[in-house]
Amino acid sequence: MAETIVGSRLSTPSKGHEAGYRGRARVGDLLVIALWVSSAIAVGLFLVSGGTARFGSVADAVTSFGIVTGLVGTNFVLAMLLLAARVPFIDRAIGHDRAIAVHRALGKPAFFLLLGHGLILLIGYGLASGINPVAELAPLFAIPDMWLALAGIALMAVVIVSSLAAVRHRVSYETWHLIHLVSYIAVLVSIPHQLSIGSVFLPLSFERAYWLVLYLLAFGAILTHRLLEPLVSSIRHDLRVDRMIEEAPGVVSIHLRGRRLRSLQATGGQFFVWRFWTPGTWWHSHPISLSSAPTDTGLRITVRELGEGSRSISAVKPGTRVWFEGPYGVFTDAGRTAKKLAIVVAGIGITPVRALIQDSQLLPGEASILLRASTPDDTFLWSEIEDLARDKHIAITTMIGKRSSSGPGWMTEDAARAGMTLKGLFPDLAESDLYLCGPTAWLTLVEADARAAGLPDHQIHAERFDW
Amino acid sequence: MRARATITGVLGSAVVLGVAWLVGSGTGANSTGAPTGAATAAPSNASSVSGTFAGASESTRYGSVQVKIVVAAGTITDVVAVKLTDQGGRSVQLSNKAAPILRAEVLKSQSAKVSSVSGATYTSNAYLSSVQSAIDKAGI
């Protein structure tokens, strides 16, 4: 991908980035509009199918409101599936992390709409028949599909609870992911009651066809991009562990070899979700960034032994088969929006940056980097960055030491005391893309500093190594 | 960018809802025809009419409804539901609840001009329309 744009990029570098950003922002806008309008269409289906006549009495109005909450909630859930499906069109436009952020933001509203759907309908039915809502339960659950719907909302509650910040940090990624897969079942078992009890999606109606097409799109996207495409790609490229190189204590570069890797169109700064086929590791997958620009026959990733998972993958043997999903992410040259490039990076966060600058065509003075480490042991890959910087005329600043307790917490004590600021480090900050990568807590501090300095959101590109 | 997209989305949604409401009201008025109270002039020999008379099949969006009435010497003695709404579990439930109430009302008032059962408006209207057409056929 990189080689095709070398010529044009060097002649008009900044224009390309800004125009590219405007194009992606338009797609992002379209997605926002699509979410609104599709929710309105869901309500519209109810109105068109005779719903307007059902606001006459209090009981009817409550019942109608209950139906509407169910429709909008379901529409949200389908949108969430689509956002998490890693559809290339969506990920390229707004980035996988932003897609997931929207997915997360929709989670609780969707759940409360669906829970409200059940409760409000019970009240509506109770009002209509003049008995208390609880007495409505028995006749309602005489219909088998209702048990499925109840199971659906219960499973969804489990998924939501497992994703609450407080709980999510306590369970391993694998456990959380396994629980999250349950949401597919939750969504599927809620379909029958919509078709059999619901009055909006009658057999052979336009409403039913439209609704089922939405389900097909959402599950089709998941099936294609989360299952089939990665499977076919993994088999086709036949990726294997080639060799391991220790970069620093506890930090290992894993070189992978495969076939026709160029057709993946991966670029520096992107990540893959890897699965190493050894008895102890095959069942969990790890999102890890490339740590150098990909070639047609080889990829390199660099991992630090953090969790249980990364310890076991830093011990895999050469020849191990590796399956992958990806490439993902817009922490790349293609994600740029402004004329200049400012990079702030700490610890293991160096890996995507190393690949990013290797894969970027830069004008002299276009980019500057701040390398940050807490101890000299954390300066792995710095020499590679320095070599690249010399070739590409990138300015480098380094900061080694514990985090400052007085000034900006992301700097070293010395730098903070010397009155260093983000603007001081990057004089062209206002017209720069700020690329940040490192530990989440540290990264959040830099991000806050950048916002305080007046940098708009689209110029801040943060790659977080959590999930 | 973001704010503009949200505003466009909200406006677009409002348009969709507005159109849907208009379309819904239009079809709603057509399909929920209230029982035709067309009181045909009763023939003189009304009191001698006996037999079973099937009403017209009235279609609703939850399926069709048809009743037949049993008449003995000009008096409706029974209303039998030939077919009740059957699409959607909830509407079956409502139909089963509404039918006996409507039957009792029709027998009591000897006409189709009774109030519909709340919460089962579609079924009620179709049921009473069918009763009315059966009464017309019987000529009582």
Residues of A in contact with B97 (CB under 8 A): 129
**Residue B82 above 80 pLDDT?**
yes
Provide the pLDDT confidence category of residue A57 given band limits of 50, 70 and 90.
confident
pLDDT band at B120; cut points 50, 70, 90: confident
A52 to B6: CB separation less than 8 angstroms, yes or no: no
Give A76→chain B minimum CA distance, Å: 15
Q: A157 touching B, CB under 8 A?
A: no
Residue of A nearest to B33 (CA): A53
Q: What confidence tier does A360 reach under pLDDT thresholds 50, 70, 90?
A: very high
For β-strands A239-248 and A251-257, DSSP reports them as antiparallel
Higher pLDDT, A143 or A88: A88
pLDDT value for A311: 64
Phi-psi category of A289—alpha, beta or left, where left has phi over 0 and alpha has psi -120 to 50?
beta
* More confident call, B30 vs A42: A42
Chain B residue closest in CA terms to A199? B88
Answer whether residue A429 shows pLDDT above 90.
yes
pTM score > 0.80 for this model? no
Determine whether the interchain pair B21/A47 forms a contact, defined as Cβ–Cβ distance below 8 Å: yes
Of residues B3 and A43, more confidence is placed in A43
Burial of B32 (0-12, 13-18, 19+ CB in 10 A): middle
pLDDT at A156 over 90: yes
pLDDT band at B27, cuts 50/70/90? low
Residue B10 touches partner A, C-beta closer than 8 Å = yes
| Cβ-Cβ contacts under 8 Å for A46 (sequence gap 6 or more) | A64, A67, A68, A71, A200
pLDDT at B39 over 70: no
The whole-number pLDDT of residue A381 equals 94
| ipTM (interface predicted TM) | 0.76
User: Quick one: A375 exposed, middle or buried, by C-beta within 10 A (0-12, 13-18, 19+)?
Assistant: exposed
Residue-level pLDDT at B88: 61
Work out the mean pLDDT of chain A and round it to a whole number. Answer: 88
Q: Do A53 and B17 touch (CB under 8 A)?
A: no
Position A6 pLDDT exceeds 80 = no
Percentage of residues of chain B with pLDDT beyond 90: 23
Q: Is the pLDDT at A149 greater than 50, yes or no? A: yes
B31 lies within 8 A of chain A by CB: yes
CB contact under 8 A, A37 and B25: no
pLDDT band (50, 70, 90) for residue A4: very low
Q: What pLDDT is recorded for position B3?
A: 84
Non-local (6+) Cβ contacts of A12 within 8 A are none
pLDDT at B79: 92
- For residue A397, what pLDDT is reported? 93
**Among B68, B61, B41, B59, which Cα is nearest to B140's?**
B41
- Give the closest residue to A269 by CA, choosing from A196, A358, A176, A208: A358
The pLDDT of residue A220 is above 90: yes
Q: Give the mean pLDDT of A27-31.
A: 93
Of A28, A36, A51, which has the smallest distance from its Cβ to B24's Cβ? A51
Of the pLDDT bands very low, low, confident and very high (cuts 50, 70, 90), residue B29 is: very low
Q: Which chain A residues touch B21 with a CB distance below 8 Å?
A: 47, 52
Contact A197 B5 (CB under 8 A): no
Whether residue A395 is predicted with pLDDT greater than 80 in this model: the reply is: yes
pLDDT attached to residue B43: 47
pLDDT: is A281 or B106 the higher one?
B106
Any idea which of A93-97, B84-88, B133-137 has the lowest mean pLDDT? B84-88
Task: For residue A285, give how far its alpha carbon lies from the nearest alpha carbon of chain B (Å).
Answer: 34
List, for residues A168-201, the tens digit of each pLDDT value. 888 887 788 889 999 999 999 999 999 887 778 8
Q: How many Cα neighbours within 13 Å face the side chain of A91?
A: 19
pLDDT of residue A307: 64
User: Does the pLDDT at position A3 exceed 50?
Assistant: no
Q: Which range is most confident: A71-75, A440-444, B74-78?
A: A71-75
Q: Would you say A349 and A465 are in contact if contact means Cβ atoms under 8 Å apart?
A: yes
Percent pLDDT > 90 in chain A is 60
Q: What is the mean pLDDT of residues A194-223?
A: 90
The backbone torsions φ and ψ at residue A371, rounded to the nearest 5 degrees and listed phi first, read -95, 130
Q: Are A159 and A108 in contact (CB under 8 A)?
A: no
pLDDT at A17: 83
Tell me if A31 sits within 8 A of A94, measured CB to CB.
yes
For the cut 80, the answer to whether the pLDDT of residue A466 exceeds it is no
Which positions ≥6 away from A109 have C-beta within 8 Å? A73, A76
CA B5 to CA A71: how far, in whole Å?
Answer: 23
| Confidence check: pLDDT of A408 > 70 | yes
For residue A44, the distance in angstroms to the closest alpha carbon of chain B comes to 5
Residue A49 phi, psi dihedral angles, 5° rounding:
-85, 35
